[in-house]
């Protein structure tokens, strides 16, 4: 009996030593937005099938934003359908206390031909962060996309993005976004 108790005590001591020497598990990392983000073509894979659709499809001026879009975003072209998608690979897209969307937020408006749904182009807003677009305090980069969904033009400063900013300023209270709520 004494041997059995001794073995049990030894086993318990061994368990305590092993448990005490085992490193604590690492805490689960909390997702945070980066302080600066530059979108590339690799961020635009499978937009229509994997991103959140936030608005559309719209044809011509038949959209909440269509009455004043004019030529922008092909709003007068009734041969295309416009659909808006959003994504942030880092955090949930919610406004912070100051009413701004997080760095890394991407909003894509795809243009598809109505007759066969082929993508014919698009436009994109990317929340860059840092001191990007500091003159208008938006932090957004404005981008055009080609028919294969790749980036063709980046409006990297406030003067190049004047047309975008002039229109989107109407939604300054919503961090320049017409589609995100």
Interatomic CA distance for residues 76 and 180, integer angstroms: 22
Give the domain ranges of the chain.
28-174
User: Sign of torsion, CA 119 122 125 128?
Assistant: positive
Contact present, 70 and 76 (Cβ < 8 Å): yes
Across 17-21, 85-89, 111-115, 147-151, least confident range: 17-21
pLDDT confidence band for 2 (50 / 70 / 90):
low
Contact present, 56 and 82 (Cβ < 8 Å): yes
Contact present, 67 and 180 (Cβ < 8 Å): no
- E strand or H helix that includes residue 4: helix 2-21
Q: Which of 15-29, 46-60, 70-84, 106-120 has the highest mean pLDDT?
A: 106-120
The string of pLDDT tens digits covering residues 64-100 is: 555 556 566 766 778 888 899 999 888 888 888 888 8
Contact present, 57 and 73 (Cβ < 8 Å): no
pLDDT in the model for residue 61:
64
Beta bridge partners of 107: 86, 125
Residue 6 has pLDDT above 70, yes or no: no
Interatomic CA distance for residues 48 and 54, integer angstroms: 11
pLDDT in the model for residue 158:
64
Interatomic CA distance for residues 21 and 170, integer angstroms: 61
Interatomic CA distance for residues 38 and 151, integer angstroms: 12
Q: How many CB atoms lie within 10 A of CB 68?
A: 10
pLDDT confidence band for 11 (50 / 70 / 90):
very low
Please count the CA atoms within 13 angstroms of the CA of 181 that sit on its side-chain side.
4
Residue 134 has pLDDT above 80, yes or no: no
Cβ-based neighbours of 3, under 8 Å, separated by 6 or more: none
pLDDT confidence band for 107 (50 / 70 / 90):
very high
């Amino acid at each position: 009996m004494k041997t059995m108790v001794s073995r049990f005590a030894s086993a318990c001591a061994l368990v305590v030593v092993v448990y005490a020497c085992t490193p604590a598990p690492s805490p689960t990392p909390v997702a945070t937005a980066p302080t600066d983000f530059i979108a590339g073509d690799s961020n635009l894979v499978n937009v229509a099938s994997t991103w959140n659709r936030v608005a559309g499809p719209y044809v011509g001026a038949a959209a909440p934003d269509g009455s004043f879009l004019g030529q922008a975003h092909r709003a007068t072209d009734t041969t295309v359908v416009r659909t808006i998608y959003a994504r942030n690979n880092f955090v949930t897209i919610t406004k912070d206390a100051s009413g701004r969307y997080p760095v890394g937020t991407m909003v894509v408006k795809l243009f598809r031909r109505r007759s066969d749904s082929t993508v014919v182009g698009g436009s994109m807003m990317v929340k860059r962060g840092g001191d990007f677009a500091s003159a208008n305090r938006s932090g957004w980069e404005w981008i055009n996309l080609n028919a294969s969904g790749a980036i063709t033009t980046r409006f990297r400063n406030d003067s190049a993005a004047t047309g975008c900013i002039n229109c989107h300023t109407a939604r300054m209270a919503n961090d320049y976004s017409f589609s995100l709520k």
